Amino acid sequence: MSFRVDYGDLEFERPADKIKTNNVPPVPGRIFDGMKAYEDAARGFHLVSFERTVKDAAGQDVPGGIIVSHRPATAQVSQLFRLSLDASKTDLERITHFDTGTGRIISDFATIACDDWRGFHRGGGAIMVMDLDGSEHFQLWHVSSFFLICILPSVDGELDNFPGKGRIERLTHDDFRYQNIVVSPSNKLMAFSSNKENNVDTLIYLTDLTGSSTGAKADTAPFTLPSRLITPTAGHGTTHWTVHDFSVDDKHLVLTKDFGNAYKLLYLVDISGPKPTAPELVVLPHLTEKEEDTVYEQAKFSRHPDQPHLLYLITNGYGDFNSVIAYDLQSRAVVHITTPNPDLRPYRQISWDVESLKVTSGSILFLANIEGWSSLFAVPLSGPFRDTVIEVQMDHEGGWLSCLPNALSEKPNEVVFNLTSYRSRGFLGKVDVSLMFNSVEKDGNGNAYISTSATVYRQAAAPLDPHAVAPKLIRFKSFDGLEVPALYYHPNNGNSVVPAIIGIHGGPEWQATAEFRTPTHGYLLNELGCAIIYPNVRGSTGYGKRYMAADDVQKREDSVKDIGALLDHITNEMKDELDSARIAVIGNSYGGYMVFASLSQYSHKIACGNANFGIAHWPSFLQNTAAVRRANRRREYGDETIPEIREFLERISPVNNASKIAVPLLITHGETDTRVTVHEAVNMYSIISKNVHSELVICEMEGHGYKQKSVIEYTNAAAILFLERFLLKKANL
């Protein structure tokens, strides 16, 4: 499934491990040395999962810990670590020792109570989704318990994890993609998604964790996980199912059929009989939005044994924003929890997108994305504040949160938070939710809130950036009057005129939030004295579905015009803070396309650009992107097989407008990228390098985004050197 890359007559140098370059000058050691503190601060800890409580050989309970991801300073790729739930303990136990080529992106990780796939009972452990080289050809892996002895002998093809704890056995042995693991509350069943039927349709499969009768032995033979298909396919590469949850009684699965990021339908599958039923479409009553503009996300069943028919989910079917609702599958009644429309009598109106919904037996937790900062809310399901939406105001400088309740170990009130801010890329803290509900207060508008502090895990805290600059929210008007928000960082609070860097996020269905920063962010601010602006151009998430759809298909260049409007805003409204003669644009993925497009339209206003794994030619991108993603991307960007759409895509493609670019350009790309293949970079570079100064960096064994230490450090340093030379106009460096 990999693409052959024709580099033509390009000759490469190899200045670092897994790096090859063309026309890139030697990078001074001072930049690598100067970046180290900022790269260390960026190596945060990321919450992955709770371990299950399991029984040892004597039948005694062994409490689980917390699994986190973190890249040690000396490791090439991120590793998994275990820490105790007891925040007073400071041990941090490394449990994986992956090397390059033996483990890369862990996209899903689900702990299990046990399995009997190998013909004997294995307590604890996890099922992990991981690829090996950044290509996103994710496979399923069984990870044995990190603290119980596994009697299975060494298996052919088992990952070498020495000296780490835990055995890692591959469960799938092909080149398809496996993702989206969901384990039933009883631990009897597991569902997952894969494109293994035909390489293009993502379908849902079911497998037994216990009572599996696989016939496998506890021997050295590789094991292939048996499974049964439960969703149909149209067979045209347009079918994409996502599994969300099992009901508490294991009788139903809730799924969505995804036609794109802005259109997802809700389905229910009865799995109580000998054969699952066909997925049944669930239509919510009294929707106010068109079906084709509606999404259903993060559907979760109630965890109360008397309410297996109650669903909690996020939808924008009742307005512009994603809101939390409850839906009773039996009575077909909808209860609005955060819907902004007051006529629907929500518990609390929240006129922002809601995300990250968690449901336990005692409460539901969710986050609201408010202008790029996340706010946590809790809804008790019993007690004096039952059905009250309570804002949880953390003792935290503000930024981005994620949370995970320890419900699978029957401790639903135990919640661990991942917190990031402008000062830190990620640290962990713990809160007891039941104690929070004892101190609820009301604000001036009568809304409930709690002020609380998390008990911080000191061993899972990245170094703070000592010179961190807090972001400021600004807005500017685009060509058509649309107001575009942006996060703005200035090295000295706007007290002097400095060069500016515009950092454009990817997606385009993504958002620059309070946690979003380029890898070189701190160095640019503190060492080079540059200001940075991260605009959320039309098409970004977080501002409602109409804003997100404002760049679709033939409106694509309207988002590029948003960058033009920002350039004008800098010139006309920010001249006392920013030097309009020294502006650079940088971006990744779709942001890379935006760099190419902005340079082709506004070279007279921009000093230079840095595009990382960007789209240069829309038709070839759509033809070469992984088949499993193609239909989704055609819905966003346009179907290149339709003549009039192809003509439009050709017209706006950067490779066909490269002659308009008149300023230096740095291009980097991962060689095994299956989302935006490396052909995009090579084709763009072969054209642009004939006209203006251009530099090319190819990153080996890297996919869509860089994960290896040597690659991260080199691409960061090369970008700094490039900006020194062409933005700051410093010669002889």
Residue 465: predicted pLDDT: 74
- Enter the tokens of residue 522: 């701190």
CB-based contacts of 630, cutoff 8 Å, min separation 6: 200, 237, 622
DSSP code per residue over 573-633: H-TTTEEEEEEEEEEETHHHHHHHHHHHHHGGG-SEEEEES----HHHHHHHS-HHHHHHH
Residue 147: predicted pLDDT: 59
Q: What's the sign of the alpha-carbon dihedral 706, 710, 711, 715?
A: positive
State phi, psi for 443 to the nearest 5 degrees: -85, -175
Residue 731: predicted pLDDT: 53
State whether residue 673 is helix, strand or coil. Answer: coil
Distance of alpha carbon 693 from the chain centroid: 34
Of 577, 315, 411, nearest to 65 by C-alpha is: 411
Residue 41: predicted pLDDT: 82
The answer to whether 214 and 605 have CB atoms below 8 angstroms apart is: no
- Enter the tokens of residue 27: 């990078």
Residue ranges of alpha helices (H) inside 405-498 are 433-436
CA 39-41-47 angle, 5° bins: 110
- Enter the tokens of residue 119: 């013909």
Q: CA-CA distance, 247 to 224, in Å (whole number)?
A: 27
In the chain, % helix, strand, coil (3-state, to 5) comes to 20, 35, 50
**No. of H helices and E strands in the chain?**
11, 44
Does domain 13-41+467-726 match CATH 3.40.50.1820?
yes
- Enter the tokens of residue 504: 């454009």
CB-based contacts of 271, cutoff 8 Å, min separation 6: 189, 206, 230, 250, 251, 252, 253, 277
What is the radius of gyration, based on Cα positions, of the chain? 26
What's the DSSP call for residue 188?
S
Q: CA-CA distance, 203 to 209, in Å (whole number)?
A: 19
Report domain extents, the chain: 13-41+467-726, 45-234
Which amino acid is residue 296, in one-letter code? Answer: Y
Residue 720: predicted pLDDT: 97
Neighbouring CB atoms inside 10 A of 286's CB total 8
Of 205, 248, 212, nearest to 408 by C-alpha is: 248
Instruction: Name 583's bridge partners.
Output: 500
The answer to whether 538 and 566 have CB atoms below 8 angstroms apart is: no
List C-alpha distances in Å: 453 to 47, 50, 277, 373, 617.
Answer: 18, 21, 47, 18, 49
Instruction: Name 280's bridge partners.
Output: 268
Residue 461: predicted pLDDT: 81
In order along the chain (733 residues), what is the average pLDDT of each group of 10 residues?
75 96 97 92 88 77 87 89 90 86 85 92 91 89 76 84 84 94 95 93 96 91 94 81 96 95 94 93 94 94 94 96 97 96 96 94 94 93 93 85 87 88 83 86 92 88 80 96 97 94 94 86 94 97 94 94 98 96 96 97 97 96 90 89 95 96 97 93 95 96 90 96 92 48
pTM for the complete prediction? 0.93
Q: CA-CA distance, 191 to 112, in Å (whole number)?
A: 12
The answer to whether 184 and 246 have CB atoms below 8 angstroms apart is: yes
Phi-psi region of 641 (alpha: psi -120 to 50; beta: other; left: phi over 0): alpha
- Enter the tokens of residue 588: 């990744």
The answer to whether 325 and 337 have CB atoms below 8 angstroms apart is: yes
Q: Which helix (H) or strand (E) holds 470?
A: none
- Enter the tokens of residue 714: 């080199």
The answer to whether 364 and 324 have CB atoms below 8 angstroms apart is: yes
